[in-house]
Amino acid sequence: MAVFGSRCLYRMLCWVILWGLIVLAVFHLRSHEVEGPNAGSMSNSVNSRLLLQKLGDPRTPHTEATASTSQSPLSAAHLLLNLEPSIDKSPSLSEAMIVEEVQKKLPSLPIAYWNRHKDRPMFYKNESCAKFPSIYDLEFNNIYWQNLHTTNGSFQLFGAYYDVRKSSKIGPAVRILGMINRIEPTVKTYCQFWFESQKEPVFMKVMEYKYIWYRKWGNYKQGIYQPYLIACQIPHQYHKIVPASVSIVEKPCDTATNNLRVVYNKPEKKKKFAVCVKGLDFLHEDLSVRLVEWIELLGILGADKVFFYELQVHPNISKVLQYYQKLDRVDVTPLTLPGGQPNVPGFQHMYLVKKWNNKRQNELIPYNDCLYKNLYTYEYIALLDIDEVIMPVNTMSWQELMDTVLPKARGTKNDTQASYNVRNVYFLDDLIEVHGWFKDIPRYMHMLQHVYRSKNFTKPNQYVKCFHNPERALTLHNHFPLACLGGACSSYAIETTDAQLQHYRADCVRTLKKSCVEFRQNSVVDTTIWKFKEKLVMRTTDTLKILGFFGSRDVRAHIKSETVK
């Protein structure tokens, strides 16, 4: 019986050992499956997170025990830890560099002058009278405008310019461009002139508010910002010195809330032709390709530089402008609307479409700013839109045109003309649809393709554009000078056999809607522009290629395909 009991006990022990071995083998197999090569990304991800957690935990000692972790998670973790975002690590700009950058972005601010004298006490007799204003205490409006609030109206000031033209009867003066919410302002104001060499300001009473508008055009109401050119004579003892900056105040001892750098650009030698373009408002309209063709044509005709003002534009237009800026062929000045007018993208465009007279009044600021900052730089200044070109008919350039025109103009008047105007003729978009495209010209060359125009020009002195003489022009409007130095604004009408204003539009201006029917019904072919065809196609296409407008297509193949069509 005892022997039987011991045998049973022995068998049970064997079964227990065997069962334990089986369980151990199964556990080992399962463990191998989880940690083996088929474990998948989830295991790696979990292990990586655990490892990062351990490495990031200050309580976890970083010892050799870490090496027991599998190779793959360790490498991933270290890669994550060694990643470094790409950020701008340029050294901080010095104050002098910041000053230079601000001066470029806000040319009207005398920041360089202020920076040189900021630690110098500057006032008239004592600190309570006409203290030089810190740039931090100036009152700005919509970025580019500076404020003056008086007892009878508010001023929005844009720029100040040194005027020493021989035709000016008031002698050396500073003219200040801005808008005032009064018609025929009566408030007495003063200019505080600041000169580089002295710590006290020089006072002069404002002598004139020159209205840059005709009351018959509308918007002649109190409370609406109106365009003005404000004049301050420079005292006789300072006639040989250019002021560094100027402020307008209501009382001479006031501490100014505005301070404008006085612009005086006078190179050793004048260039020939500048073109000024009002504030561009093409936020959702991509006119970039047409703009390239236009800029290149102006260059061929002899424009030395095009001065753009920019409200809101499409990104592709910005790309084009930046490209030509780097080549120093264009200048771009950012622009906003002053006062309470909207500057929100999109909404600003809606406002300018509906508020037509406000739009026209606002345009006079960039036109006259362009005139005054180039008074001594160019012989002629033309105000053009990007859909119009002054086209010489029998000559190849603007200079050759003026060489033809000047003797004729002098024959009619002994004095120098204030401007030379060119009559307008429409090259309407839909006229090409009637006649068809020209197969030997790329379709993206809008002006070269559109050579059908209305037979009749608009009436003389209507919708003309001019070459303005900066020595004579006092204030400019889109079509004519409004006021001139040395007498009345004489304008010589260039004969249509010598030049024409080629105006490329989808439709006539709204004031000519009735005449537009006649213009469409009576059209002719005018290929004057084709004398520049080869050069214009090449220059435009090369620029578009550089800017990436053709993508990966070969430009030559593109032109060839257009020719074959």
Q: Please report, rounded to a whole number, the percentage of residues in the chain having pLDDT higher than 70.
A: 86
pLDDT tier for residue 25 given thresholds of 50, 70 and 90 = low
- Choose the weakest-confidence range: 125-139, 155-169, 341-355, 422-436: 422-436
Whether 82 is in a domain gets the answer no
pLDDT in tens, 290-307: 999 999 999 999 999 999
Whole domain around residue 115: which residue ranges? 98-263
> Are 464 and 540 found together in one domain?
yes
What does each C-alpha distance from 293 to 86, 128, 384 come to in angstroms? 38, 58, 15
Q: Please report, rounded to a whole number, the percentage of residues in the chain having pLDDT higher than 90.
A: 75
Model confidence at 323: pLDDT above 90: yes
Model confidence at 27: pLDDT above 80: no
Residue 5's CB is within 10 A of a number of other CB atoms, namely 9
Whether 487 is in a domain gets the answer yes
DSSP string for residues in 355-382: -HHHHHHHHHHHHHHHHHHTTTTEEEEE
User: Structural domain tally of the chain?
Assistant: 2
pLDDT tier for residue 433 given thresholds of 50, 70 and 90 = confident
> Are 258 and 329 found together in one domain?
no
* Whole-number average pLDDT of the chain: 89
pLDDT top residue among 72 and 411: 411
- What integer pLDDT is reported at residue 173 of this predicted model? 98
- What integer pLDDT is reported at residue 242 of this predicted model? 97
- What integer pLDDT is reported at residue 98 of this predicted model? 94
Task: Give kind and range of the element (H or E) at residue 301.
Answer: helix 288-301
Distance CA 366, CA 177 (A): 10
Q: SS3 string of 401-464? A: HHHHHHHHHHHHCCCCCCEEEECEEEEECCHHHHHCCCCCCCCCCHHHHCCEEECCCCCCCCCC
Rounded to two decimals, the pTM is 0.84
Whether 439 is in a domain gets the answer yes
Whether 210 is in a domain gets the answer yes
Residue 116's CB is within 10 A of a number of other CB atoms, namely 13
Show the tokens assigned to 225: 């910002």
Mean pLDDT of 124-134: 93
- DSSP code, position 333: E
Whether 353 is in a domain gets the answer yes
- What integer pLDDT is reported at residue 74 of this predicted model? 65
3-state class of 193 per DSSP? Answer: strand
Crossing angle for the helix pair 288-301 and 315-326, to the nearest 10 degrees: 30
**156 and 179 Cβ atoms separated by less than 8 Å:** yes
pLDDT in tens, 242-266: 999 999 999 999 999 999 999 999 9
> Are 250 and 170 found together in one domain?
yes
Contacts of 470 (CB under 8 A, 6+ apart): 371, 374, 375, 376, 378, 379, 380, 381
Domain termination residue (choose one: 263, 293, 313): 263
Model confidence at 559: pLDDT above 70: no
> Are 336 and 306 found together in one domain?
yes
- What integer pLDDT is reported at residue 557 of this predicted model? 54
**230 and 208 Cβ atoms separated by less than 8 Å:** yes
Whether 308 is in a domain gets the answer yes
- What are the beta bridge partners of residue 153? 150
157, 164, 161, 165: which is closest to 174 by C-alpha? 161
Mean pLDDT of 544-552: 91
Look up the CATH number of the domain holding residue 513.
3.90.550
pLDDT tier for residue 452 given thresholds of 50, 70 and 90 = very high
Model confidence at 499: pLDDT above 80: yes
pLDDT tier for residue 8 given thresholds of 50, 70 and 90 = low
**311 and 353 Cβ atoms separated by less than 8 Å:** no
Mean pLDDT of 121-129: 91
> Are 251 and 337 found together in one domain?
no
> Are 191 and 165 found together in one domain?
yes
Beta-strand relationship, 378-383 and 271-282: parallel
Whether 430 is in a domain gets the answer yes
> Are 304 and 234 found together in one domain?
no
Mean pLDDT of 492-518: 92
Mean pLDDT of 439-452: 96
- What integer pLDDT is reported at residue 44 of this predicted model? 45
> Are 253 and 284 found together in one domain?
no
Model confidence at 424: pLDDT above 50: yes
**311 and 365 Cβ atoms separated by less than 8 Å:** no
- What integer pLDDT is reported at residue 59 of this predicted model? 46
- What integer pLDDT is reported at residue 317 of this predicted model? 98
Mean pLDDT of 438-448: 96
pLDDT top residue among 5 and 153: 153
- What integer pLDDT is reported at residue 354 of this predicted model? 97
> Are 186 and 303 found together in one domain?
no
- How buried is 382 (Cβ within 10 angstroms: 0-12 exposed, 13-18 middle, 19+ buried)? buried
Look up the CATH number of the domain holding residue 234.
2.60.40
Model confidence at 481: pLDDT above 90: yes
Model confidence at 31: pLDDT above 60: no
Q: Pseudo-torsion of CA 72, 78, 81, 84, nearest 10°?
A: -100
369, 387, 370, 365: which is closest to 273 by C-alpha? 370
Whether 224 is in a domain gets the answer yes
- What integer pLDDT is reported at residue 513 of this predicted model? 80
Mean pLDDT of 377-384: 98
- Choose the weakest-confidence range: 82-91, 97-106, 127-136, 484-493: 82-91
Show the tokens assigned to 134: 């810190």
pLDDT tier for residue 371 given thresholds of 50, 70 and 90 = very high
CA geometry: angle 515, 446, 386, nearest 5 deg: 70
